[in-house]
Amino acid sequence: MKHGASKTHFLQTQVPRQLLAFNILASLAYFLLLAFHFAIGNKYLFAMLLFGEVFHLWQVIGFTLTIWNTECNPKMKSTITDPVAVFITVAGEPVEIVRETAIAAKNMEYPNFDVYLLNDGYVAKKENWQAIEALAKELGIQCVTRKVPGGAKAGNINNGLRETTAPFMVVFDADHVPHKDFLEKTMGYFSDPKMAFVQSPQYYANNDASYVAGGAWEQQELFFGPICKGKNQNSSAFMCGTNMVVRRTAIEEAGGMCEFNIAEDFLTSLFIHEKGWKSVYVPEVLAEGLAPEDFLSYSKQQFRWARGSLEVIFRYNPLFRKGLTFMQKFQYLASASYYLSGVIVLLNALLPLIFFFTGAAPITTSTMALAAAFLPYIILTLYNLQLSSNFTYTFRSLSFSIGSFVIHIQAVLAVLFKQKSSFTVTSKTQLTGNFLYLVTPHLVYIALSLIGITYAITVHGFTPAVVTNAAWALLNCGMFIPFILAASPLKLTPNRETEVTA
Amino acid sequence: MEKLNTFFRSTAFQLLALMVGSALLSYFLFNGQSLRLDEAQSLWQTSRSPVAILSIVAKDVHVPLYHMMLHYWLAFFGTSISTARILSLIFYILTIPAIYLLGKKVYNHKIAMFAAFLTACSPFLTWYGSEARMYSLLTLVAVLNQLAFLSILKDRKQSSWVGYFFSSLLGMFTHYLFFTQLLVQAIYLIVKRRKVRRKTGWTFVGMYSVLAALFLPWVLFVIHLGSASGTRPLLETPTTVNVFNTFAQFFVGFQVDSLNTAVVSLWPLAVLFIFFALQRNQRMSEETQYFMMASFLPIVIVYLFSLAVEPFYLSRYLIFVIPSFYLAISWLFSTYGKPALYLRIGLFVIMLIALIGQGISVRTPIREDYHAASDYLTQVMTGRDVMVVSAPFTIYPIEYYYHGAASMQTLPIWDRVSGTIPAFNAADLPAMVKQINGDHDRTCLLLSYDQGYEKTIFQYYEKHFQQIKHQVFSPDLSVYCYQLRYDPL
């Protein structure tokens, strides 16, 4: 496995609290100056800008409070030996990938467990469903092949629960190869009778396989590093679909894995938490999986996560759920609302374009005053991001987050208009081709920016407002570049480890 | 041949080439330029005896090291402005290898050399490297002081302590604002107290105490003198625009307002460059954190002090932060990987163009062409005319160049023997003008360095006398000539 050092790097984090406090203060100062001090230009554009900044303030506060303490780990006892059913969910993945996972699962060190291949290949009409059954036979493990479809992955797990009796279940995606000590490092937390589930990182072993995989992993590092660690402060770690151990009674009390949401793990966690159960995130790589290696698979995965999370906000808003603590509500909302950022990115990106073609601006205050308020806030935020992720956060991951705005907006629309979305398993093999059509909005934005800049300079000349708006537009274009490159058929360097400067 | 190749590739040669190139460029761009107000003050002040210099400099709200050096320099090599400027040029040129040494000490050859490149083509540093003032000395001392400071933290050698002590001492007596650099270092030591050995920390405390004790006599001397001479230009309360202009000037020097505004308005791109620095495992080293602090904190401190207490925000007073700033920029670029080369070349070319533009453009905002103004006055004025100079202290550069027959006065009227420039009182203006005019035929009013009353004086002359000539010599330097009487005596 390559990049061994980086396997644990993202998990070693703790940002000084003074810096976090300064970050919140700088964000508040910027917001208050913008909202109440700066001269308002066009009131509709100002409302757009302010709406975006309210969201950014919420994100900064959410992130800061989440990572306030990332070293809050519950204690575990290693004496638990209760039976465990290890589920490997399969829905058409290549047999060799499943084989590796199944063998690793069989080799885990724990006195009392059985491995099951939860084979959904038949209901998902995959050609290799029988090969999976043959694999189970070959390896001496059990295979549960569903014949009645429904509920996608959640339905498959629920079926597995019905077919077994063990008080604990482990879920691995077909491509997530567990370490030998997975159960030893997780089962001990269940010494607490209120502990419902234990989640471990979703590490991508193929993060150097492609440019897309690298970017996807770098995004994951921030989430599975400081964010998940911080959620242990108030028992709000949620299930991430794989590499997790769940107590049967807890999930049964919550009605099983939620089959009516595309992000079943997120919503099921919420249902479990509101019944008063606890959860814990183990900051240690205990299984290694595969990231989407191509842009199409990445886009589909992002859409699925976005849609599922947004449904939680629009249909099962944590604020109005009974049984959750205040901080659990806050954490669920903070995580789910991340996917609203697409709308904000679009609003912010539109502001310079509107200025170029109409001359209307949200504020008319000196651009330097805006800079004086904005720069400390953004620099502190970025520095804290870097510190919290132990310097694993990159421009590429930032670009992937910003560039995904179209996917996130599609997810918002899908939720609002109740469009049907099916659960599709993320491809485990790299699809080749030109996916530039997926970044058409980004390319159009760049074209409009260049036309707009030319037009504004022609009409108004090099005024401070024109230059500043041109710089904002170029900033947005620059942010889109790695995302566009990822979609292009270019062969890009998958991963770049920068040498540490003295 | 191989030896020659090796020599050309050596760091020493590269630095030497930079130094020679920069010196030649500075000489050709600036040597022929007019004496500036501050330079005229330096020449006048340093032409006195050493004891008198101390008193004059103290009243001029400065510290005396540079003036004393210039006094003896001029005594040895001659009193022309070119000679005086060469001293500044030497300090500036020495800053190039000094910043390289600092960069090499902290980072590596590449980062250090790029910082040296930036120093060599910096329009801002070049401008003050060609001015007979203390700013290039201040920059050099600041670099040496930082070299010693970071060496102490890195190696704890005895020689570093000695270097730190003397560079601090020199800096304190070069410019008052050097204290902000020492303050930033003290703040850095406090912030990083867990990483600084206890003994080292206490040694710093002891050293600061000794330095304070050595500076105390000067403070007492200034207090003893009582009042400032009023020869310092009027400074307005700074705004955030001043702060951003400072950083723009660190890159492109002094450009016409429209260009400067365009450069400053590009600030969102700075955010993009910060985003670019988000690279895997690219940590900000302790030294980089120090350079960041040393680049920004003095500016913030001076800005806040100017808002809260008294305005004294001038970008040239903050010239000593440039080495830290260039090293921080150089480090930032080093994090970009392959694109860094293009960015380095781009920045270098932009700064070089800005430098040449600043040197040759007549619209350069801080250009002060007292030479041309004096030549013009020599040409148009006779012994029956009177020249009026305002602000009063601008009489220094005019005196240097003007050799005509007309008498010379200042508004408000200033008796330089008594020292202090009197405060302007609009009610006294008619009487002062009447006293100056006497029975002269014509008067030429030379206006520059508005001290808050330039408009009042100008309007008074416009209202009471007939303007016969008007000429602008450089931004903010104009001559207006008026007919006072038509009847022959």
pLDDT in tens, B396-425: 899 889 989 999 999 999 887 666 788 899
H/E stretch holding A170 reads strand A168-173
Query: Nearest Cα to B312, choosing from B232, B203, B196, B406?
Result: B232
Cβ within 8 Å of B, A 314-333:
none
Percentage of chain A beyond pLDDT 70 is 93
Q: Establish, for the pair of chains A and B, how many residue pairs have beta carbons separated by less than 8 Å.
A: 119
How many helices, marked H, and strands, marked E, lie in chain A? Answer: 19, 10
Cα(A306)–Cα(A300) distance, integer angstroms = 10
A369 or A118: which carries more pLDDT confidence?
A118
Answer whether B223 touches A (CB < 8 Å).
no
Answer whether B338 touches A (CB < 8 Å).
no
Contact B87, B73 (CB under 8 A): yes
Answer whether A394 touches B (CB < 8 Å).
yes
Contacts of A474 in chain B (CB under 8 A): 268-269, 272
Using pLDDT thresholds of 50, 70 and 90, give the confidence band for residue A5: very low
Span A66-81, pLDDT tens digits: 999 998 888 887 778 9
Instruction: Find where tokens 């006398």 sit.
Output: B465
Q: What's the pLDDT score for residue A290?
A: 87
H/E stretch holding A149 reads none
Q: How many angstroms separate the first and last alpha carbons of chain B?
A: 82
B5 or A476: which carries more pLDDT confidence?
A476
Contacts of B107 in chain A (CB under 8 A): 501-502
Task: Check A498 against B279: CB less than 8 A apart.
Answer: yes
Considering Cα of B461, then B463, then B469, then B473, what sign does the dihedral take? Answer: positive
Name the minimum distance, in Å, from the CA of B392 to any CA of chain A.
34
Cα(B446)–Cα(B393) distance, integer angstroms = 12
Q: What's the pLDDT score for residue B489?
A: 45
Q: Please report, for residues A27, B26, B175, B220, the alpha-carbon distance to residue B212 in angstroms, rounded to integers and kept in the order given.
A: 39, 37, 15, 12
Using pLDDT thresholds of 50, 70 and 90, give the confidence band for residue A497: very low
| Token pair for A62 | 């959410």
Q: What's the pLDDT score for residue B367?
A: 87
Q: What's the pLDDT score for residue A431?
A: 59
Peptide bond into B412 cis (omega under 30): yes
Peptide bond into B116 cis (omega under 30): no
| Angle between helical axes of B198-225 and B178-191 (0-180°, round to 10) | 150
Using pLDDT thresholds of 50, 70 and 90, give the confidence band for residue A499: very low
Span B349-379, pLDDT tens digits: 999 999 999 988 888 888 889 999 999 999 9
H/E stretch holding A199 reads strand A195-199
Coil, helix or strand for A92? Answer: coil
User: What is the pTM (predicted TM-score) of this model?
Assistant: 0.85
Half-sphere exposure of A487 (CA within 13 A, CB side): 19
Using pLDDT thresholds of 50, 70 and 90, give the confidence band for residue A292: confident
Contacts of A397 in chain B (CB under 8 A): 278
Span A85-112, pLDDT tens digits: 999 999 999 999 999 999 999 999 999 9
Considering Cα of B105, then B107, then B109, then B112, what sign does the dihedral take? Answer: negative
Judged against a pLDDT cut of 90, whether residue B13 lies above it is answered with yes
* HEC per residue, A331-389: HHHHHHHHHHHHHHHHHHHHHHHHHHHHCCCCECCCHHHHHHHHHHHHHHHHHHHHHHC
Task: Check B267 against A393: CB less than 8 A apart.
Answer: no
Instruction: Find where tokens 């330095």 sit.
Output: B211
Q: What's the pLDDT score for residue B418?
A: 66
| Token pair for B433 | 């003008």
Contacts of A496 in chain B (CB under 8 A): 279-280, 337
Q: Which residue is closest to A372 within chain B, CA to CA?
A: B240
Q: Which residue is closest to B191 within chain A, CA to CA?
A: A18
Which of B107, B266, B278 is opposite residue A394, by nearest beta carbon?
B278
Span B42-101, pLDDT tens digits: 999 999 999 999 999 998 889 999 999 999 999 999 989 999 999 999 999 999 999 999
Judged against a pLDDT cut of 50, whether residue A3 lies above it is answered with no
Span A146-164, pLDDT tens digits: 999 888 899 999 999 999 9
Span B466-485, pLDDT tens digits: 999 999 999 889 999 999 98
Contacts of A462 in chain B (CB under 8 A): 258, 261-262
Output the CA angle A246-A101-A160, nearest 5 degrees: 40
Q: What's the pLDDT score for residue A494?
A: 57
Q: What's the pLDDT score for residue A244?
A: 97
Dihedral Cα A320, A326, A327, A329, nearest 10 deg = 0
Q: Where are the alpha helices (DSSP H) in B361-450?
A: 370-380, 395-401, 429-437
Percentage of chain B beyond pLDDT 70 is 97
Judged against a pLDDT cut of 90, whether residue A263 lies above it is answered with no
Cα(B7)–Cα(B4) distance, integer angstroms = 5
Contact A424, A304 (CB under 8 A): yes
